[in-house]
């Protein structure tokens, strides 16, 4: 029997979570499919991954089908969509397709991080389709919080798919073209509606439509104009439109812009080279900050997510080498805290407030809006495209479920609830095959890319909760202790009274345990090791209420 061609979608990351976006589209009969990959992003390590900065999707499925992988298409250059490219893609030796801004961001990332591996980038532009095997891909400009964001129209012999990437319907964006509504409307009417819509779910719980970036610009302009002294604004470095709005507001208020933070300088340089900052005066470096009158400066700085080494955190701790703020100055957080970063951001804000510096957040006015569609915008997209199939992506379970319910309410015939690792058949007979593909995570631990099991993170968590007791001693064949025991206690509480200290308790426990073992049996290294471990854990637990991590070295000489 001849197997029919199928069109499938496999989310490898970003579906059931925020971040780490990576998806694959396959076309052809089963076991003979050709694949394209859309996006290759990261998420950030949290409290449960101590020492891990970046997490990315495990590409094992793509590696198993490497001969049939045709290329990678990047919708835009936010870290959660392109941040893993230089770590994961060089091994495939397949082309990467990106807009000029995203390509420049990729090159700047490689230079900044001193990455040796490189990828071949082919430039793509909205409205200029290109072919990859059985796929034809067309980029469609959409408004988002970074320049040159794109939805993708993916055409195959059996139907078309619209993959939205991150988008919103902002008719008046700053520093970027508006969403190409006319093209989206045309897609819904030409040659019949598209087969499927793979769509951003981030704001699917929010009614109405997202405010425009021009509304944020107006708020910032008013706040900067009314400020009596210095104004510092921290925002996402990649939000070029927001930087433009701040710069225009500063110029109108007769102030000069000082920029602090490597990421801001890097992205600002790319934007200026590509002509995105026409009419915006050159930004001053942070060394000029102290030479400007207090009422004639606007500072744009990195660190909106509470990063400890970023500019705004160092200013808050009064550790910045050239920038300081005083009572009466104003700090505007033109951003939102990514889930998991809230505590760090609040701590920085409190440091400013304690010094009499005014802190402005989204609670005080419209100083930030995300680049994702609310329910009203989703409904309008459904009306234009009239898709046969909806697959909500880019969100946690709560966002995906709300988006799926909205799609059903609006009459989309097939709404498929997918998660990472599912095989979603878009044609023929749309349906989901849960858990069909092996997925997982890779940790970037310093310079080492490894699986969670290889990373040692589980041991780090144990150490963070239970501390560590290390005991070392030497015994001879007759069971006599020749040296030691040497004891090291790390991460356990110590009290002033040595008789009641945990170090003293461990010393007494080791001595008592050794004394209880007959001399001849003390030469049994394994038995002594086990006895000391159990005794130390038990006695410390009785005293402290927690079981420590215990390592015992018994050397026989």
pLDDT reading at 163 higher than 70: yes
**Tell me, what's the pLDDT at 520?**
80
Three-state SS for 299?
strand
CB distance 195 to 160 below 8 Å: yes
Range 427-441 average pLDDT = 94
Reported for 451-454, long-range contacts at CB under 8 A and 24+ positions apart, including other chains, are 451/58
Give CA separation, 271 vs 228, 274, 520, in Å.
31, 5, 76
Domain count, the chain: 3
CATH number reported for the structural domain that contains residue 259 in this entry: 3.40.50.10710
pLDDT reading at 498 higher than 70: no
Burial pattern 402-431, b for ≥16 Cβ within 10 A else e, equals: bbbebbeeeebebbbbbbbbbbbbbbeebe
Determine, yes or no, domain membership for 365: no
**Tell me, what's the pLDDT at 306?**
87
Q: Which single residue is written with the structure tokens 């490689």?
A: 110
Determine, yes or no, domain membership for 439: yes
pLDDT reading at 528 higher than 70: yes
**Tell me, what's the pLDDT at 496?**
62
Three-state SS for 14?
coil
297 and 347 belong to one structural domain: yes
Range 280-290 average pLDDT = 94
Determine, yes or no, domain membership for 14: yes
Domain boundary among 396, 423, 448: 448
C-alpha 475/C-alpha 517 separation (Å) is: 13
Interior CA angle at 176 toward 173 and 177, to 5°? 85
The answer to whether the bond into 428 is cis (omega within 30° of 0) is yes
**Tell me, what's the pLDDT at 221?**
97
pLDDT digits (tens, 9 = 90+) for 30-52: 889 999 999 999 998 877 888 88
Determine, yes or no, domain membership for 405: yes
C-alpha 244/C-alpha 266 separation (Å) is: 15
Range 488-495 average pLDDT = 86
pLDDT reading at 217 higher than 80: yes
Confidence class for position 1, pLDDT limits 50, 70, 90? very low
Determine, yes or no, domain membership for 526: yes
Q: What is the mean pLDDT of the chain?
A: 93
167 and 138 belong to one structural domain: yes
Q: Which two tokens stand for residue 474?
A: 């030497």
C-alpha 264/C-alpha 237 separation (Å) is: 5
pLDDT digits (tens, 9 = 90+) for 63-78: 999 999 999 999 999 9
Domain boundary among 421, 448, 475: 448
C-alpha 96/C-alpha 120 separation (Å) is: 6
Q: Which two tokens stand for residue 124?
A: 């793509």
**Tell me, what's the pLDDT at 501?**
81
Confidence class for position 540, pLDDT limits 50, 70, 90? very high
pLDDT reading at 342 higher than 90: no
Range 258-286 average pLDDT = 94
The sign one gets for the Cα dihedral 382, 384, 388, 392 is: negative
Residue in 254, 259, 311, 312 with CA at minimum distance from that of residue 283: 259
CB distance 27 to 4 below 8 Å: no
Q: Find the domain containing 529 and state its range.
A: 457-556
191-195, 235-239, 289-293 — which is least confidently predicted? 191-195
CB distance 440 to 451 below 8 Å: yes
196 and 335 belong to one structural domain: no
CATH number reported for the structural domain that contains residue 417 in this entry: 3.60.15.10
301 and 317 belong to one structural domain: yes
288 and 421 belong to one structural domain: no
317 and 263 belong to one structural domain: yes
200 and 287 belong to one structural domain: no
225 and 162 belong to one structural domain: no
C-alpha 285/C-alpha 257 separation (Å) is: 9
Determine, yes or no, domain membership for 466: yes
pLDDT digits (tens, 9 = 90+) for 122-157: 999 999 999 999 999 999 999 999 999 999 999 999
Determine, yes or no, domain membership for 1: no
pLDDT reading at 314 higher than 50: yes
Domain boundary among 390, 418, 448: 448
Q: Which single residue is written with the structure tokens 């933070």?
A: 261
Share of the chain above pLDDT 70, in %: 99
Three-state SS for 309?
coil
336 and 323 belong to one structural domain: yes
């Amino acid at each position: 029997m001849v197997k029919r061609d199928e069109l499938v979608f496999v989310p490898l990351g970003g579906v059931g979570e925020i971040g780490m976006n990576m998806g694959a589209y396959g076309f052809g009969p089963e076991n003979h499919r050709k694949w394209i990959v859309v996006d290759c992003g990261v998420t950030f390590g949290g409290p449960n991954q101590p020492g891990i900065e970046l997490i990315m999707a495990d590409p094992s499925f793509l590696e198993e089908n490497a001969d049939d992988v045709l290329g990678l298409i990047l919708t835009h250059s936010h870290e959660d969509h392109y941040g893993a490219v230089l770590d994961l893609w060089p091994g495939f030796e397949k082309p990467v397709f990106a807009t000029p801004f995203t390509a420049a961001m990729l090159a700047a990332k490689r230079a900044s991080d001193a990455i040796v591996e490189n990828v071949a980038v082919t430039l793509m532009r909205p409205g200029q389709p290109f072919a990859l095997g059985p796929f034809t891909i067309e980029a469609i400009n959409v408004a988002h919080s970074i320049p040159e964001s794109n939805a993708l129209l993916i055409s195959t012999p059996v139907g078309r798919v619209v993959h939205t990437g991150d988008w919103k319907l902002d008719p008046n964006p700053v520093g970027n073209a508006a969403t190409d509504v006319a093209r989206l409307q045309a897609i819904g009417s030409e040659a019949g509606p598209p087969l499927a819509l793979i769509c951003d779910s981030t704001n699917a719980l929010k009614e109405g439509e997202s405010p425009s970036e021009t509304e944020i610009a107006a708020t910032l302009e008013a706040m900067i104009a009314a400020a009596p002294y210095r104004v510092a604004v921290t925002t996402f470095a990649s939000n070029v439109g927001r930087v433009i709005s701040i710069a225009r507001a500063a110029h109108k208020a007769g102030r000069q812009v000082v920029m602090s933070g490597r990421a801001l300088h890097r992205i600002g340089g790319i934007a200026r080279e590509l002509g995105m900052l026409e009419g915006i005066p050159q930004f001053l470096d942070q060394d000029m900050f102290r030479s400007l009158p207090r009422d004639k400066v606007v500072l744009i700085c990195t660190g909106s997510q509470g990063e400890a080494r970023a500019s705004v955190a160092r200013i808050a701790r009064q550790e910045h080498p050239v920038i300081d703020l005083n009572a009466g100055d104003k700090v505007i957080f033109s951003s939102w805290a990514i889930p998991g970063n809230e505590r760090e951001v609040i701590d920085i804000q409190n440091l400013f407030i304690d010094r009499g510096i005014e802190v402005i957040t989204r609670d005080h006015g419209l100083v930030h809006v995300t680049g994702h569609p609310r329910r009203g915008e989703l409904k309008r997209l459904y009306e234009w495209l009239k898709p046969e199939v909806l697959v909500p992506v880019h969100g946690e379970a709560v966002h995906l479920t709300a988006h799926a319910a909205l799609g059903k309410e609006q009459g989309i015939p097939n709404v498929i609830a997918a998660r990472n690792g599912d095989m979603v058949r878009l044609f023929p007979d749309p349906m989901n095959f849960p858990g069909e593909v092996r997925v997982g995570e890779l940790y970037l631990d310093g310079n080492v890319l490894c699986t969670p099991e290889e990373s040692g993170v589980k041991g780090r968590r144990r150490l963070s909760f239970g501390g560590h007791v290390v005991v070392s001693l030497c015994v001879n064949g007759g069971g006599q202790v020749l040296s030691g025991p040497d004891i090291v206690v790390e991460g356990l509480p110590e009290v002033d009274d040595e008789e009641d200290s945990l170090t003293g308790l461990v010393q007494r426990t080791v001595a008592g345990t050794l004394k209880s073992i007959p001399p001849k049996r003390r030469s049994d290294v394994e038995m002594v090791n086990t006895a000391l471990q159990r005794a130390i854990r038990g006695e410390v637990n009785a005293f402290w209420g927690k079981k420590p991590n215990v390592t015992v070295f018994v050397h026989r000489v």
